[in-house]
Amino acid sequence: MSFLSSVYAYLYYFAAFVLIAGLIAKIVQYARTPAPLKIPTTPAPTTRSGVAFRITREVVFFESLFRGNKWIWIFGWMFHFGLFLVTLRHLRYFVDPVPAPLQFIQPFGVYGGIAMVIGLAGLWARRLLVDRVRYITSLSDHLILGLLVAIGLSGLMMRFVLHTDVVRVKEFFQGLYVGQINQLPADPFLLLHLFLVAALMIIFPYSKLLHMPGLFFSPTRNQVDNPREKRHIAPWAQRMEQEQEAQ
């Protein structure tokens, strides 16, 4: 066990703790935030099953973005779908044996990495070239986009330029499950890639990237459009109303 392997092992323990704890805290906060108004974006479904179908379309196809701007939709969907394929490809480092569906997805994950970088480049260019978007873009937006691009490029470099020992990488991460620190290859692109991914895990619960779980708690998307059929009242307002009636 080298000093470098120990540093990365503890870094990933810390990053995993921050990611999980931060996500749980934010989801609890979202769940407890009252929605005092009935504000679904119309035309909206009038049933709970319709709402579930609407959120599914939003998550999978980015329906509202498609209606709003086709160019942003193309780059945004390329990035997210590419990231989805890359995530599936990387699951092979954490499971043993690797299931047949993950084995099948491996070559497509490489194309997903390319699509991910191209999509990010398009989204970043929009923030640099479109005046009204550049005006509301902060330094943190550029840093997050740069971090994601660097993660994608460093991963592709290991695939096409400087290969690494993926067997030892898998042994390293599987050893972390049981508190065992195995030797991590000291390849520069691998170390850079892993460091950037750990940084992403740490900042994820506290950045704009949190829109992923936040979508499910958006009242404009998760509410049924039935204000005439059913009175909408937030839980805290309902308690106040009951207290006033009791008095």
pLDDT at 228 over 90: no
Euclidean distance between CA atoms 97 and 105, whole angstroms: 15
Does some domain include residue 94?
Answer: no
The per-residue pLDDT of the chain, averaged, comes to 91
Angle between helices 3-32 and 188-203 (to 10 degrees): 20
What global pTM score does this model have? 0.89
pLDDT, mean of residues 194-223: 92
The reported pLDDT for the residue numbered 32 is 87
Domain count, the chain: 1
247 — pLDDT class (breaks 50, 70, 90): low
Reported as a single tens digit per residue, the pLDDT across 50-59 is 999 999 999 9
DSSP 3-state of 39: coil
Does some domain include residue 162?
Answer: yes
The reported pLDDT for the residue numbered 141 is 94
Does some domain include residue 117?
Answer: no
Does some domain include residue 38?
Answer: yes
pLDDT at 119 over 90: yes
Does some domain include residue 50?
Answer: yes
**Cβ proximity of 131 and 163 under 8 Å:** no
The reported pLDDT for the residue numbered 244 is 73
Higher pLDDT, residue 16 or 247: 16
29 — pLDDT class (breaks 50, 70, 90): very high
Does some domain include residue 185?
Answer: yes
pLDDT, mean of residues 73-102: 93
Does some domain include residue 104?
Answer: no
Euclidean distance between CA atoms 141 and 22, whole angstroms: 20
The reported pLDDT for the residue numbered 1 is 57
Alpha-helix runs per DSSP H in the chain: 3-32, 48-61, 63-68, 70-90, 100-129, 131-135, 139-160, 166-176, 188-203, 211-214, 219-222, 235-246
Higher pLDDT, residue 24 or 239: 24
pLDDT at 234 over 90: no
Q: Which domain holds residue 15?
A: 3-68+138-246
Euclidean distance between CA atoms 81 and 88, whole angstroms: 11
Euclidean distance between CA atoms 58 and 192, whole angstroms: 34
**Cβ proximity of 77 and 62 under 8 Å:** yes
Buried b / exposed e across 22-58, counting CB within 10 Å, b at 16+?
beeebbeeeeeeeeeebebeeebbeeeeebeebbeeb
| DSSP per position, 70-97 | HHHHHHHHHHHHHHHHHHHHHGGGT-SS
pLDDT at 75 over 90: yes
DSSP 3-state of 184: coil
Pick from 81, 146, 91, 154: which is nearest to 112 by CA? 81
Does some domain include residue 123?
Answer: no
Euclidean distance between CA atoms 60 and 224, whole angstroms: 20
